[in-house]
Amino acid sequence: MVGLAEALRHLEGMPLLYVLLNSSSVRDLIDKEQRLNRYLHSNHRVRVHELTAHTLELEHHPRWGRQPVPVESHFVLGVHLVLLDEIGCRDLGVTMPESAEPTRCIADHGRVTRKPPAGGHRRWRFRWTAFEPTRRILTGLDEVLLAADDPTDLAADRSAAAEIELVVGSDLAHRWTLAEAARLCRRSPRSLQRALAAEMTSFTEIVDRTRVAEAARQLAETDRSMTEIGFACGFSDAAHFSRRFKAATGEAPSAWRRTVSAD
């Protein structure tokens, strides 16, 4: 029998994941995910629309600002497929009820096996034939993993990038400076730079990434012109927009829009 101390030796650095995996049912998993949201620095959350004995319907939505782009939603969809499969959902599949093909299953036994249909990437409906727990729940594991009950203990220095994304996302057209963003984040410019360096990123990279992500969303989901989108997302002119977007995605904005539309 595996003891708690022995189990913990394998979990170092991944406390939240193992809190979720230490779930006795789908409801337990989802309840934990909702409670643990305060530890997560992502701009996006998952909203529960339905939960029954054999189905779960979730929606990927923003806490603020821009909607998630398809690649972000597909990643989170994959995470949930793995989690549900790992805790014991049998013959697990998923459909996308707001897509162009709402009844087409794109997964088999907990793994994506088909290309997702166009549109409706933010809402998913999971189905399983039975739930057979695959793990022996360790009483007290959650409490030990989260003993500090402090987000900074579980995500030391990793909140800096999320703080900057929030600031920049509140007004993409603004010409943000490091000093201004640091003041709004209640940090000194130097401490902010150190925190971002520890995350292997920089203020400029985060500003560019946040603007490009919103531009990608608008290219995919609106009929605004390239000029409108570039201006709204804070790029100084069309050439600047095209150059930064291509550097981040590998495609010019016009090519990106054609690719997304074709999908």
Q: Which CATH fold topology does 157-262 show? A: Arc Repressor Mutant, subunit A (1.10.10)
Q: For 59-107, how does the pLDDT look when each residue is reduced to its tens digit (9 = 90+)?
A: 988 765 567 888 888 888 888 888 899 899 999 999 999 999 999 998 8
DSSP states along 16-65: HHHHHHS-SSHHHHHHHHHHGGGG---SEEEEEEEE-SSEEEEEEEESSS
Q: For 192-246, how does the pLDDT look when each residue is reduced to its tens digit (9 = 90+)?
A: 999 999 888 999 999 998 899 888 888 888 888 999 899 989 998 899 999 999 9
DSSP, collapsed to helix, strand or coil, labels residue 86 as helix
Domain residue ranges in the chain? 23-134, 157-262
How far is residue 175's CA from residue 188's CA, in Å, rounded to a whole number? 19
DSSP, collapsed to helix, strand or coil, labels residue 108 as strand
Token pair recorded at residue 172 = 């993409």
Going from the C-alpha of 240 to that of each of 52, 144, 233, the distances in angstroms are 49, 50, 11
- DSSP H helix total and E strand total for the chain: 13, 8
The pTM of the full predicted model, rounded to 2 decimals, is 0.53
Pairing verdict, β 89-90 and 55-62: unpaired
Helix (H) or strand (E) holding 44: strand 44-51
